[in-house]
Amino acid sequence: MALDGWKERLFRRYLYWLCRPARLRRRLTALIGEGGPVHTSVPLPDGGRLRVAALQVKVKLSKDPLDYASEVHRMVREAASAGAQLAVFPEYNNIQLLGMLPGVEEMSRAISDGGSSEERREERGNRREGSSRPAVTVADVIRYVGPVMSQFLSVLYSTLAAAYRVHVMAGSFLLPDGEGVVNRAYLYGPDGRLIGTQDKVHLMPVEMDWGLSAGTEFHLFETGVGRVAAPVCMDATFYETFRILELMGAEVVMIPIANPEPYNYWLALRGIWPRVQECPVYGIKSALVGSALGFAFTGRAGVFAPVELTPDGSGVLAEVASAEEEGVAVAEIDLHALREFRLNHPWRDSNPELYVRYFPSVYQA
Amino acid sequence: MTDGAKGDWYTMRVAAISLAGLPVNQLSDYAAALTGLLDRLQVRLAVLPAHTSFFLCAAGGHVGETADFVESYRRFMQQSSEWNKRFLATHSDLARSSGIYLVAGTTVEQADGLFYHTAYCFGPDGEICCRQRQTHLTREERSLGLSRGVELHLFDMDGTKAGLIVGVDALHPEVARIFALQGADLIAHTGALLAGASVRLQPAGMWAQVQQNQFWAVESQLRGSICSRAFGGDCAVIGPCEVTPGSTGYLDRQDAERPFAAAELVEADRSRIRSEYPLLRLLHLDAYRVLPQLYMQDARPDSCNRPLACDMEGD
């Protein structure tokens, strides 16, 4: 394993000390204690109506993990103040903690697999042929620092969910899992317990180059805020994700994103919005924005619904105005209205004979 | 027009026509006007919208006096076999005389005692080169007694693999995915979205299917009224966002001045983006292994796990 010299091992002990739960809890107690939680007992949905918050987080590398904890606390508190019973954080929501590593900005090249597109392609080609391999890969870095982050993140999001009595989808984290590294979303309940996780199933090519492992199944969680799921970013590009979850019974699908390209309305439209129309569910998109590690992330967090369930027929219930700055989009969703809509859907249909005739042979082809 | 060279480098000019502004009371007037428009557009493929046959039949006064769309459609269904002889012959002649591929929109097809909502494409020789039944039905279509098709047909269009997507099949992504995985280069879509709120759904149809499958689409939407029911979608020529101006996904869209959309498809552009961003290679088949079982156990209220004509008795 790379990054396993005595200096690295010593430094990791320092990181464990920096991220120790007692230190984090002291900070959280102080933060939460400042006026106490805004809603210590946010009621769970009655009549199927609930408020949800899509968070848009501006990435900032944190040398001290407590700075990151303070930022996360501020956003959970803001969501709870707005009456949200579910707060949704974005993809890669732990890369801020890479700021603990010295020289992390210089590591940008390794993270982004820098250089021109042509150079990147050439490097990928060389690597596949085994002729060249970076000394330290992204997966190596995550394997090195992941165990430290994992414990810290668990305490942080669990504590905040319980303190504010909200469901918190913590976003997705790059974390080690056995020999592999995954992009994994975490969902916490209002009692602070981990409800479940979801590994990103459809990886971007650059994530494959980083050495990430893809998830192989989609999970549905029965919660106090409905039947929810949390596939990650690129998973929304493929209708299969939403169809599987819809057929499993999903009512709310959360999509954390971290899109490393300039914002374009049409490019952004290729994800959650059409999926919500195809498979009638509520959709919550959370976005990481800002620059870090050689990437400039953009996106507009929002809450989406079938056009028939939005007052203006747009399919958008709430959306952050800026694609580059922090924000929160809060909206009320109505699970009973969704169920009623599905019962009387004007155009939805299924044709199993067609699917059996062509699937899975066309997939195999 | 197609330049004749195939592979990645051909170009093809295509158009989607909404029927707005065309005289529709007499088939002969309609054919003459459409011929004139096709002459002006100079395309290799033209696509007409869904309900073209019903539109012409009703406008010509052949379904009797009624302002009720559903009642009018029922009457049309009963006489569709007879009417189709004229409808299909007219469009066969149009395709042959213009020397183009012409998707004539849709009509009602009767076969083995069942009714289907079916699109027809004629080749430059005037022969039918594809007949495609709609495979997913709206609630209203089910109540009218239409049946679902269960096959999707690809056909050769000057070396291009083409398919037809009919009506709300555009909103059921399984259809586009099956076409794409069988190698479709181009989809002609014949649609008829209701004016008003339904139009907001349009990007979830062919536009979204193009983006997740990276084929071309020529989308024709009906503009006009049949028996007091107004239709208001936009015709468009659609490609992957990366190969279109402003990354909009549109090569052309109909506007207030033009009841059609027309554009040149440059296959090299599509080939490039499919090489740089090979979406279909990123499908995760292992994760989809549950789909067949989920489809068969589909417990959605409006699901139909029975084969053909399962809703003949209506809702």
DSSP secondary structure letters along B239-271: --GGGSGGG-SEEEE--SS-SEEEEEEEHHHHH
Phi/psi of residue A174, each to 5°? -80, 115
Confirm whether A84 is domain-assigned.
yes
Domain that holds residue A120: 6-347
Q: Does B283 touch chain A (CB under 8 A)?
A: yes
- A to B CB pairs, distance under 8 Å: 181
CB within 8 Å of chain A, chain B residues 203-222:
203-204, 207-208, 211-212
What's the pLDDT band for B97 if we cut at 50, 70, 90? very high
Q: What is the mean pLDDT of residues A193-222?
A: 95
Q: What is the mean pLDDT of residues B295-302?
A: 70
Q: Do B282 and A201 touch (CB under 8 A)?
A: no
Give the tens place of pLDDT for each residue, A9-42: 889 999 999 999 999 999 999 999 865 655 544 4
Task: Give pLDDT, residue A293.
Answer: 86
Phi/psi of residue B137, each to 5°? -120, 150
Assess whether pLDDT exceeds 60 at residue B170: yes
Confirm whether A359 is domain-assigned.
no
Provide the pairing of β-strand A86-88 with B114-122: unpaired
DSSP E strand boundaries for chain B: 11-17, 45-47, 101-111, 114-122, 128-133, 146-147, 154-157, 160-166, 186-191, 216-221, 223-226, 229-232, 236-238, 250-253, 260-266
Residue B31 neighbours by CB under 8 Å, 6+ apart: B90, B93, B94
Our count of domains for chain A comes to: 1
Which residue in the block uniquely carries the two structure tokens 């155009």?
A347
Q: In what helix (H) or strand (E) does residue B90 lie, and over which residues does it extend?
A: helix B69-98
Q: Do B178 and A308 touch (CB under 8 A)?
A: no
CA B85 to chain A, closest CA, distance in angstroms equals 29
Distance CA B132, CA B151 (A): 8
| Interface confidence (ipTM) of the complex | 0.92
Q: Record the pTM.
A: 0.92
Picking from A202, A215, A342, the nearest residue to B301 by CB comes out as A342
Q: Do A346 and B181 touch (CB under 8 A)?
A: no
Q: What is the mean pLDDT of residues B244-259?
A: 95
Residue B299 neighbours by CB under 8 Å, 6+ apart: none
CATH topology of domain B7-296: Nitrilase/N-carbamoyl-D-aminoacid amidohydrolase (3.60.110)
- Report the CATH number at residue A146: 3.60.110.10
- Three-state secondary structure of chain A: CCCCCHHHHHHHHHHHHHCCHHHHHHHHHHHHHCCCCCCCCCCCCECCEEEEEEEEEECCCCCCHHHHHHHHHHHHHHHHHCCCCEEECCCCCCHHHHHHCCCCCCCHHHHHCCCCHHHHHHHHHHHHCCCCCCCCCHHHHHHHHHHHHHHHHHHHHHHHHHHHCCEEEEEEEEEEECCEEEEEEEEECCCCCEEEEEECCCCCHHHHHHCECCCCCCCCEEECCEEEECCCHHHHHCHHHHHHHHHHCCCEEEEEECECCCCCHHHHCCCHHHHHHHCCCEEEEEEEEEEECCEEEECCCEEECCHHHCCCCCCEEEECCCCCCCEEEEEEEEHHHHHHHHHCCCCCCCCHHHHHHHCCHHHHC
What's the pLDDT band for A93 if we cut at 50, 70, 90? very high
Task: Give pLDDT, residue A1.
Answer: 57
Q: Does B135 touch chain A (CB under 8 A)?
A: yes
Assess whether pLDDT exceeds 60 at residue A149: yes
What is the share, in percent, of chain B residues with pLDDT greater than 70?
92
Q: What is the mean pLDDT of residues A184-204?
A: 97
Half-sphere exposure of A159 (CA within 13 A, CB side): 22
Assess whether pLDDT exceeds 90 at residue B206: yes
Give the tens place of pLDDT for each residue, B180-199: 999 999 999 999 999 988 89
Assess whether pLDDT exceeds 50 at residue A136: yes
Distance CA B290, CA A245 (A): 10
Confirm whether A357 is domain-assigned.
no
Task: Give pLDDT, residue A39.
Answer: 52
CA B230 to chain A, closest CA, distance in angstroms equals 17
CA B218 to chain centre: 8
Task: Give pLDDT, residue A112.
Answer: 55
Task: Give pLDDT, residue B8.
Answer: 56
DSSP-based three-state secondary structure for B83? helix
| Cα radius of gyration (chain B) | 19
User: Chain-wide mean pLDDT for chain B?
Assistant: 91
Give the tens place of pLDDT for each residue, B20-49: 999 999 999 999 999 999 999 999 999 999
Partners of residue B283 in chain A, C-beta under 8 Å = 202, 238, 240, 363
The CA-CA-CA angle for residues A57, A62, A63, to 5°, reads: 180
What is the share, in percent, of chain A residues with pLDDT greater than 90?
75
Q: How many residues does chain B have?
A: 315
CA A210 to chain B, closest CA, distance in angstroms equals 16
Q: Does B81 touch chain A (CB under 8 A)?
A: no
Task: Give pLDDT, residue B315.
Answer: 29
More confident residue, B52 or A42: B52
CA A194 to chain B, closest CA, distance in angstroms equals 23
Task: Give pLDDT, residue B314.
Answer: 32
Q: Do A266 and B152 touch (CB under 8 A)?
A: no
Residue B111 neighbours by CB under 8 Å, 6+ apart: none
Task: Give pLDDT, residue B7.
Answer: 55
